[in-house]
Structures are given as structure tokens and as C-alpha cells.
Amino acid sequence: MLNELLDDTLTALYSATESAPPSLRLRETGVLLQVGGGIARVNGLPGITSEELVRFQGGLLGIAINLEPDEVGVMLLGDNENLTAGIEAYPTGREADAPVGEGLLGRVIDATGRVLDRGRPLPIEERWPIERPAPGIIERAPVTVPLETGIKTIDALIPIGRGQRELIVGDRQTGKTSVAMDTIINQRDKDVVCIYCAVGQRGTAVARVVDTLRKENAIQNTIVVVASDADPPGLRFITPYAATTMAEYFMEQGRDALIVYDDLTRHARAYRELSLLLQRPPGREAYPGDIFYIHSRLLERATHLRREHGGGSLTALPIIETQAQDISAYIPTNLISITDGQIYLSPTLFHKGLLPAIDVGKSVSRVGGKTQYPAFRSVAGDLRLSYSQFEELETFARFATRLDEDTRATIEHGRRVREILKQNEHHPLRASEQMAALKAVNAGLFDDLPLAQASDVEAAIQKRVLDRLPQLCERMESGQKLDDSQWQEVLNIASEVIDEIRSQPHG
């Protein structure tokens, strides 16, 4: 019985080998010559292409970015502790890619899809290349729909549209990440998918961001993509491209996405580090000659697509850090020229406690005015003008001993406007709440109130307008115009609240 079974098995094996004769498969193999600083030099891969993935013995991956006659410069995507000269390297035949899909929402991952939040493995169905061409001009539609940040200063004076690229710029510790966080938090009920891309940040800073998103119930529609300062420069360099690919998946589904790059200063430094290690010729501030291109090809991928191409949008909020308020430095000027405007955060305002510390004079949105709700536009036009006049007068008033009544009134009105533009961190407001408060301060209703009472009065006005005029609030938020009688209803409620507070006995 056993002999018969062995005979049958041998017969099956012989027939299998005859039907599939052995064949040789050629594969290029390279030899690692040198490794260090996140860069490997490999000899013997003549057929490799630029940006192709290379696999080393042991499984570590890298990307071929320097193709020279005698060797290939490979940017490593992990720790090189186990790499030694002499080991083999193989081309994979595919370019670097990143996971995409709904399964990434609510997760903290790196550019390659490695899970960093100690949760279950990712349900990866698709992987897309991290370097993808930006949509052509024919595929793009005008930016017409507002992206509400919930921050009064931005939504009223520096509005952002879906598909816009708006730079957030300022010195360190001026609240740049907080502005981006508030914008993400405000999208939690707006059906906008958010991607927070942290490049070269400390682990504690990223943990704080994730904790804030969880606390504010905004993590469910957010993907956090991280390359910490401890990661190799290659991983830090590809992270923004991978995060953009994840966002593009949703844009191409016809949905709206928002991506925050925090921050591109560190991204530029990672690329400078790689370029110097690869012995590329340095240029200004030791950056390589193509430093402009690495950011332009990234940010050009943010757009609003035409309806026949799905109608989705990708809004980009790149963050850049300046040194000593110098926005004319190399990397800031590059990014200002690529983007559609900038939000400048001033350390002077920050130290005065005027938060968010947005300098309206140095900030601009080159698209947003067309995206603003008509009701918002009617409030914001007067507001910007009066605020600019106030800032100019306040500067000159420091040197004047006597001021005429008109000048004093303008300054006092401006101080109330500035007080109303203050806002607590992680406390985004609905568009109708913002408009009610700004309309009241614009109309001069706050001018006779003590500055200390302004925030309490503002909160009371917002609450009462929401309670008494729900249909009017819906009109404001759906982009409909308000006529003079409807605005008067808002002002009547504001006057009523102010009269009640005035009539209350003090302390």
C-alpha cells in the first residue's frame, strides 16, 4: 500500500516537472559600497530608473535618486543599523508608493503605511505612487466654495476657498499649528477629509496634536502622517508627497480634502541634508538648485477639479517657520511665490496676548474674496478698512500729546474690533456666530462698552441670535444674501443684549 502511494507521488512529480521545465530568470544585483547619514551608495545596477525602489538584504527599502555612471545614490527609508558594505541590493521594478483609501481615516501612520498608533493593521486595498503629476489647467475649476476655518480673523479678512493653497508663516511658537488645528477641528461636521502631515516634528508635539484631535472628536475624518525628527532624512523627504497622494484619493472620488504640511522648512532642510550627502552642488544657503521645484511640484497638486473630472478639491495649508520675522528669506519667498496668499503670525501680537496672533496687514488671500459668502462680504469690507485705519492711527497716536475727537473715536472703535477678533484656541465658530458679532462691532454698538466686557457681550449676542433667528442663521451659512431689514434684526438683538448688560448693577 505504501509503495503504491510513493509510486503515485513520484509519477505526479515527474509529470509536473515535465510540464513546467526549469528556466533561468535574470535579475540585476548591486553591491553596497558605502552607507551613512541615511544615504547608501550601490554599485552594479545599470538598468535602474530614477525614483525606483531598491530592496537591500534584510528587507530595508530605499529610493534611487542619484544615477551616476559607476554607482547609484539611494535614499534610505529606514534605519541603516543592519546595513554593511558588501551586502546585495536589488531593484524592485516599481516606484515608491503609499496606501490610500477609507481605511486610513482616524489612524496615525508613516509615509510607507507603517502603523504608529499601536492599533490594528491597516486594511490596505490600494497603493498609489507618491509622485503623481499635478492636474492640468483644463482639469481645474475656479475656487468658489469657502473652506470655513471657524477663526473670525481668517474667515472675515483672509478667507480661504476649497482648492486654494494658503501659506501659514511666522516665527516659532507663534501659534501656526494651532491655526491649522482649529481649521481641521472645524471640518468635523463639514464632510471634508483632513490630512495632517508632520515633517521633522518632535514626538511630543505630534502626540499633543493627536490628543487634541481625539479630544475634539476630529480624528475620525483625519489621517495623521508622521516623519519625526528621529527618522532618516529620506523618510522625512517623501512624507509630504505620500500624504498628498492619500489626499488625492479622496479628491478623485469627488470629495473635498484638506492637507496641512507642518512644516516645509524642515522638509527643505531634509532635502538639503540628502543633497549635500550625495555631493550635489550647493546653491544659496547651501540648498540645492532644485529646492524651488520640490515644493512647487508638491503644492501644484492642490486644486479644485472641474465637474467632469469629479468636482473634488484639495486645499493645502503649508506651514513655514521664519527666523526673526524675516519673511524675505530664501524658503519663505519661494513658498509665498508658489501659494495663493499667506497668513502671517506676528510674535509681537502673540506676546501682547492678541490671539490668534494674525497680522492682518501682512496677510493676504489672493483667491478667497470670491469664495466668501455674500453676507460675510458685506460685513468684512467695512471691517478691513476700519481695522487698517485703526492700526495706522494707533501707531501715530503714540507720538501725539493731543488727539481730536474723531481720531480718538476711531482708535477706540478699532480697539473693540481687535478685541472681538480675539478667539480662544480650539474654539471654532459657526459663520453665523462670527457675522453677528462682527456686524455688531462694525455698527459701533461696542464703542461705549468697557474693553473687559467685550468678550462676554459677544458670547451673549451669538447665543441669542442663534436662539431667536435660526432661519436667518441658515440663510447666512447657505450663502444667501441678507437685506437691510434682516441685518437690522441682528442689530436689534445685539442692542437688546448690550442694554441688558448695561442695566445690570456692577460688582
Which tens digits make up the pLDDT trace of 53-73? 999 998 999 999 999 988 999
Position 179 scores a pLDDT of 97
3: pLDDT confidence band, cut at 50, 70 and 90?
low
Give SS3 for 313.
Answer: strand
| Cα-trace Rg, the chain | 28
Please give the share of the chain, as a percent, with pLDDT higher than 70: 95
Would you please indicate which residues are annotated as catalytic (active-site) residues?
366
Rounded to an integer, what is the distance from CA 33 to the centroid of its chain? Answer: 39
Q: Are 43 and 80 in contact (CB under 8 A)?
A: no
Q: Are 491 and 440 in contact (CB under 8 A)?
A: yes
The pLDDT tens digits of the residues spanning 166-194 come to 999 999 999 999 999 999 999 998 999 99
Average pLDDT over residues 256-269: 96
Position 298 scores a pLDDT of 97
Q: Of how many residues is the chain composed?
A: 507
Kindly tell me if the per-residue pLDDT of 38 is higher than 80. yes
List, in sequence order, every residue forming a beta bridge with 222; answer none if it has no partner. 194
43: pLDDT confidence band, cut at 50, 70 and 90?
very high
Average pLDDT over residues 444-470: 92
Distance CA 356, CA 335 (A): 22
Q: Are 105 and 222 in contact (CB under 8 A)?
A: yes
507: pLDDT confidence band, cut at 50, 70 and 90?
very low
Give CA separation, 342 vs 144, 187, 279, 448, in Å. Answer: 18, 20, 34, 34
Average pLDDT over residues 297-319: 97
Kindly tell me if the per-residue pLDDT of 117 is higher than 70. yes
Distance CA 83, CA 339 (A): 40
Average pLDDT, the chain: 91
506: pLDDT confidence band, cut at 50, 70 and 90?
low
Average pLDDT over residues 420-446: 93
The pLDDT tens digits of the residues spanning 137-173 come to 999 999 999 999 999 999 999 999 999 999 999 999 9
19: pLDDT confidence band, cut at 50, 70 and 90?
low
Position 409 scores a pLDDT of 86
74: pLDDT confidence band, cut at 50, 70 and 90?
very high
| Helix (H) or strand (E) segment spanning residue 343 | strand 341-345
The pLDDT tens digits of the residues spanning 367-386 come to 877 888 888 888 887 787 77
Kindly tell me if the per-residue pLDDT of 21 is higher than 70. no
The pLDDT tens digits of the residues spanning 325-352 come to 999 999 999 999 999 999 999 999 999 9
Position 104 scores a pLDDT of 96
Rounded to an integer, what is the distance from CA 112 to the centroid of its chain? Answer: 19
For each of the domains in the chain, give its residue range(s) and CATH number, in order of start: 30-94 (2.40.30.20), 98-372 (3.40.50.300), 375-503 (1.20.150.20)
Q: Are 245 and 132 in contact (CB under 8 A)?
A: yes
Q: Report the candidate in 504, 494, 342 with the shortest Cα–Cα distance to residue 420.
A: 494
Give CA separation, 123 vs 107, 119, 255, in Å. Answer: 11, 12, 21
22: pLDDT confidence band, cut at 50, 70 and 90?
low
24: pLDDT confidence band, cut at 50, 70 and 90?
low
17: pLDDT confidence band, cut at 50, 70 and 90?
low
Rounded to an integer, what is the distance from CA 242 to the centroid of its chain? Answer: 13
Give CA separation, 89 vs 43, 272, 348, 439, in Å. Answer: 9, 25, 53, 66
Kindly tell me if the per-residue pLDDT of 398 is higher than 90. no
The pLDDT tens digits of the residues spanning 204-249 come to 999 999 999 999 999 999 999 999 999 999 999 999 999 999 999 9
